[in-house]
Each structure stands twice: as structure tokens, then as C-alpha cells.
């Protein structure tokens, strides 16, 4: 027994192809040339319409390829020990794009990108991490002063002054969830899931994405762990001041469904509809709250990988995949937005809101008191009821004047 263990320990480990094993000639350079003529030339095989297989325009695709190649040297074409060139950046990017867009496995693409399955998986992990590291600051940002002014002006025209968006949660089924974790990650959905909390605006831009909590949580549990209101309690959010039905408010709000708590920044529909005013308000609220559900639908239709079950083992990999999809979703919206859209049309008469001071020291007793005050204001149920009643009167006045 000991002799067998010793032989097993001293056995040489092969980290390359074993002698005698059949190796498939990949023709990597031929794969690069084919993809190059399909996508990157002045007269490519696939025009803009057919290029939508990647869910975006060619210009945006090439921008991402150039960015990841400059960011991570893994995507730069190199020669091996005998001088043969390896896969190019465009090959290493096309494979992850198609996996995410169509939900296919890595071995499904080896004949088209001319790379092995293990190389495709390695490229996939490098790619999603590179995109998140490069573009998250711009496309996962919270609304700045200009964004806030634009959102407030658009939603004012819709009848909800100072509304910042709508909030909801989406579940992504985790097929490869370890057995030891399945009890924690299984909730009211079928099987273990991971939760994405998001805030979306009318144009389906996702302004807030919080992902990774177990599927056994409900929306309230997720919100209490979410960083959505961190800037509010720290006093670093853009200042908002407005009047509704003659009452003054200093905090923006989100439209939410009935499961959420009655907090000041959340506006829910009525359960018991008594009177035409409440019926009209509930109809409008439920209609505009669908913005975030529409955003989830578009996100899943663009990226089939997150529409189906997650087939990766690591939670870190799944987090990068989801954040990648949100970033690309926002990039596509920006790329497809009408060029003649005039930002000044959405400008508030009083100018842009001012950002509060960002240097927040939690140990300062004065600022700690302000922090606790802001936190208490968020969970003020009476403020929630007053704002909702004022919005009922505001929307009814608009409806009656038409």
C-alpha cells in the first residue's frame, strides 16, 4: 500500500498533451483571417444588420476589442516557443461575445474561432473581467448631477416629479450551485438562484446593479443590504428639492412594487383601490414601474447566457458575467440613442443640482449624527404616505385638466 502511494506521488505530471494523444490542428491563423474578413474590413462579409448577432454595432464591437487588448496583455497576439503566432485579440473576444449573446458552450465554438475549449474558457474569464475593470466607472455609475437633472425632467413630464427610476429584483438560476449551499440559495423560485437588484429609467438604462445575494432572500432583505441609499445617508447625493401638491420634499424617490417597505424614497401602488383618484394613480404607477421589468427583459434577450441557468461554479465568475451584461446593456443603449437628442430639452429651469461634499468622515460626531438622521428619514413611513397622497392629487389634477 505504501509502495503504491509512493509511486503515485513520484509519478510525473504532464501539463501538455500526452504522447500518442490525437491533437486537432486548429489553424489559428486561418481562424483569425476568417473573422477579420467577416467583421473588421472596410467591406466586411456581414453588414450592420447581420452584425447584430453580437447584439451591438460594429463600431462598438471594435471599440471594446481595442480597449481590452490595450488593458490586458493576454489579448495581444504572441508567438509560442517555436515561433508560431497564437490567437489574436479579435479571436479571443469573438468567442466570449458569442457565448454571452447566444448562451452556447465553449466547445460549440472551436470550429468557428479555431481555438480549443480550454483556451476559449480562459479567454472568456479574462474578457468579462477586463470589460468590468475598464468600463464599470462610466457605465455602472450612480447618476451624477447631469444625469439626475435629466432623469428628473423626463419623469416630471410623465407626471412623477423628482422620480429617479423604478426598482425591482431579478433571479438567475444557478445550475452548478454546490450541494452544501443549495438550501441557502433556494427560495420561492425553482432551484437555487442569485439575485440582481436594479434601478432602471425610461430609456432602460440601469443606474444601479447589486448582484450576488442568495435566492432565499426577498426584495426587502436585498434592499437592506444594498448600497442604493449609501449616498443618501452619507449626504453625498445630488441635492433635490421640489414641491408636490403644495408640500416641499428634499429626497428623490423610486417606484416599487408592493413587497417593499413603506420608506420615504419608495412610492408603491395602493392595495385597496377606493375612488377614481387612487385607481388612476395606481394605473400610472404600475405602468411606469414596468421600466425596470422591461430592462430585465431586454437584458435577458440580449444575453442568452443570463436567460438560461448559470453553468459556472464560481460566484466571482458569475458576478463578473452579470456586471459585464449590465455594462454592455448600457453601452448599447448609449450607442443606439438618437444623435439629435438635445440634453438642454431636459434641463431643469433652476440649473443642475449641486453635489454635496464628498469628503465624508464617519468618526466626526456631527457627521455621525447627520448620518443617523438621514437613515431615519429614509425609513419614515409617514413621509412615504404623505408623498404618495400628494402624488395622487398631483396626477389627478393633470388628468382632470386634459
Q: What is the pLDDT of residues 222-249, one digit of tens each?
A: 999 998 888 777 766 766 777 888 888 8
Helix (H, G, I), strand (E, B) or coil at 32: helix
Total structural domains within the chain = 2
Residue 4 lies in a domain: no
- Answer yes or no: is 16 within a domain: no
Q: Which long-range contacts (CB under 8 A, 24 or more apart) does 91-96 make?
A: 91/28, 91/31, 91/32, 91/35, 91/115, 92/123, 92/126, 92/127, 93/64, 93/65, 93/68, 93/123, 93/127, 94/35, 94/39, 95/120, 95/123, 95/124, 96/120, 96/123, 96/124, 96/127, 96/128
Mean pLDDT computed over 364-382? 72
Q: Helix count (H) and strand count (E) of the chain?
A: 15, 7
Question: Do 132 and 215 sit in the same domain of this protein?
Answer: no
**pTM, two decimal places:** 0.83
Q: Which domain range does residue 219 map to? A: 145-335+361-400
pLDDT tens column, 187-232 = 888 899 999 999 999 999 999 999 999 999 999 999 999 988 887 7
Provide the grid cell at 110: 472551436
Specify the long-range contacts of residues 76-85, CB closer than 8 Å, at least 24 apart. Answer: 85/28, 85/29
Please report the pLDDT score of residue 356 as a whole number: 42
pLDDT of 177 above 60: yes
Residues 39 and 94 occupy one common structural domain: yes
169: helix, strand or coil: strand
Sign of the CA dihedral running 100, 103, 107, 109: negative
Indicate whether 169 pLDDT > 70.
yes
If asked whether residues 127 and 209 sit together in one domain, one would say no
Cβ neighbors of 27 (< 8 A, separation 6 or more) are: 114
**Per residue in 141-155, pLDDT tens?**
988 888 888 888 898
Where is average pLDDT lowest: 33-42, 113-122, 332-341? 33-42
Mean pLDDT confidence for 44-66:
76
Q: Are residues 118 and 171 in the same domain?
A: no
Q: Which of 138, 164, 188 is the last residue of a domain?
A: 138
Share of the chain above pLDDT 70, in %: 75
Looking at residue 149, its pLDDT comes to: 85
Q: Are 113 and 176 in a shared domain?
A: no
Whether 231 and 302 share a structural domain: yes
On whether residue 9 sits in a domain, the answer given is no
pLDDT tier at 360, thresholds 50, 70, 90: very low
Task: Specify the pLDDT at position 34.
Answer: 61
1 lies in a domain? Answer: no
Handedness of CA 379, 381, 383, 387 (dihedral sign): positive
State whether 159 and 129 are in the same domain: no
Question: Whose CA is closest to 254, among 221, 222, 291, 218?
Answer: 291
Alpha carbon distance 117, 122 (integer Å): 9
Query: Are residues 395 and 260 part of one domain?
Result: yes
Pairwise CA distance, residues 309 & 279, whole Å: 38
131 and 170, same domain (yes or no): no
Q: Are 204 and 222 in contact (CB under 8 A)?
A: no
Return d(Cα 226, Cα 337) in angstroms, integer. Answer: 29
Per DSSP, which regions of 128-203 are E strands? 163-173, 193-200
344-357: burial string, b at 16+ Cβ within 10 Å, e else:
eebeeeeeebeeee
Alpha-carbon distance of 332 to 135, in angstroms, equals 13
pLDDT tens digits, one per residue of 298-349: 999 999 999 999 988 899 999 999 999 999 999 999 988 754 455 444 444 4
Q: 69 and 193: one domain? A: no
Residue 18 placed within a domain = no
Residues 200 and 237 in one domain: yes
Q: 91, 119, 138: which is the final residue of a domain?
A: 138
Instruction: Give the pLDDT band (50/70/90) at residue 364.
Output: low
Produce one character per residue of 233-244: b if its CB has 16 or more CB atoms within 10 Å, e if not.
bbbebbebeeeb
CA dist 198 and 287 (Å) reads: 17
Q: Which three cell numbers stand for residue 228?
A: 442604493
Distance CA 303, CA 295 (A): 12
Report if residue 12 sits inside a domain. no
Co-location of 252 and 106 in the same domain = no
- Whether 308 maps to a domain, the answer reads yes
> Is 269 a domain residue?
yes
Phi, psi of 247 (to 5 degrees): -110, 145
Final residue belonging to a domain, choices 86, 104, 138 = 138
State the Cα–Cα distance between residues 95 and 353, nearest whole angstrom: 43
- Is 357's pLDDT higher than 50? no
Amino acid at each position: 500500500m505504501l509502495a503504491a502511494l509512493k509511486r503515485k506521488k513520484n509519478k510525473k505530471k504532464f501539463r501538455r498533451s500526452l504522447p500518442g494523444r490525437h491533437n486537432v490542428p486548429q489553424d489559428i491563423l486561418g481562424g483569425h483571417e476568417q473573422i477579420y474578413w467577416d467583421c473588421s474590413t472596410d467591406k466586411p462579409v456581414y453588414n450592420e444588420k447581420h452584425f447584430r448577432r453580437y447584439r451591438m454595432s460594429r463600431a462598438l464591437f471594435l471599440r471594446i476589442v481595442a480597449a481590452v487588448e490595450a488593458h490586458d496583455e493576454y489579448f495581444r497576439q504572441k508567438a509560442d516557443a517555436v515561433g508560431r503566432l497564437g490567437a489574436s485579440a479579435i479571436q479571443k473576444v469573438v468567442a466570449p461575445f458569442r457565448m454571452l449573446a447566444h448562451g452556447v458552450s465553449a466547445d460549440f465554438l472551436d470550429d468557428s474561432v479555431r481555438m480549443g475549449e480550454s483556451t476559449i474558457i480562459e479567454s472568456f474569464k479574462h474578457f468579462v473581467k477586463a470589460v468590468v475593470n475598464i468600463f464599470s466607472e462610466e457605465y455602472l455609475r450612480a447618476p451624477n448631477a447631469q444625469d439626475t437633472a435629466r432623469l428628473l425632467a423626463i419623469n416630471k413630464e410623465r407626471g412623477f416629479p423628482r422620480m429617479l427610476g423604478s426598482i425591482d429584483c431579478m433571479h438567475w438560476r444557478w445550475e452548478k450551485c454546490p450541494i452544501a449551499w443549495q438550501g441557502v440559495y433556494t427560495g420561492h423560485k425553482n432551484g437555487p438562484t442569485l439575485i440582481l437588484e436594479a434601478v432602471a429609467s425610461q430609456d432602460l438604462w440601469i443606474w444601479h446593479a447589486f448582484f450576488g445575494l442568495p435566492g432565499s432572500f426577498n426584495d426587502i432583505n436585498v434592499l437592506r443590504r444594498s448600497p442604493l441609499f449609501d449616498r443618501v445617508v452619507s449626504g453625498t447625493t445630488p441635492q433635490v428639492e421640489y414641491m408636490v401638491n403644495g408640500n416641499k420634499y428634499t429626497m428623490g424617490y423610486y417606484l416599487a412594487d408592493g413587497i417593499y417597505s413603506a420608506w420615504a424614497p419608495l412610492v408603491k401602488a395602493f392595495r385597496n383601490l377606493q375612488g377614481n383618484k387612487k385607481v388612476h394613480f395606481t394605473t400610472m404607477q404600475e405602468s411606469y414601474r414596468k421600466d425596470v421589468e422591461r430592462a430585465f427583459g431586454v437584458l435577458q434577450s440580449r444575453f442568452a447566457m443570463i436567460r438560461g441557468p448559470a453553468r459556472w461554479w464560481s460566484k466571482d465568475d458569475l458576478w463578473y458575467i452579470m456586471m459585464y451584461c449590465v455594462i454592455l446593456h448600457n453601452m448599447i443603449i448609449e450607442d443606439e440613442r438618437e444623435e439629435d437628442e438635445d440634453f438642454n430639452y431636459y434641463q431643469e429651469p433652476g440649473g443642475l443640482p449641486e453635489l454635496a461634499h464628498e469628503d465624508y468622515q464617519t468618526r466626526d460626531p456631527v457627521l455621525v449624527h447627520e448620518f443617523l438622521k438621514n437613515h431615519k428619514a429614509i425609513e419614515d413611513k409617514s413621509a412615504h404616505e404623505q408623498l404618495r397622497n400628494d402624488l395622487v392629487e398631483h396626477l389627478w389634477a393633470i388628468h382632470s385638466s386634459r
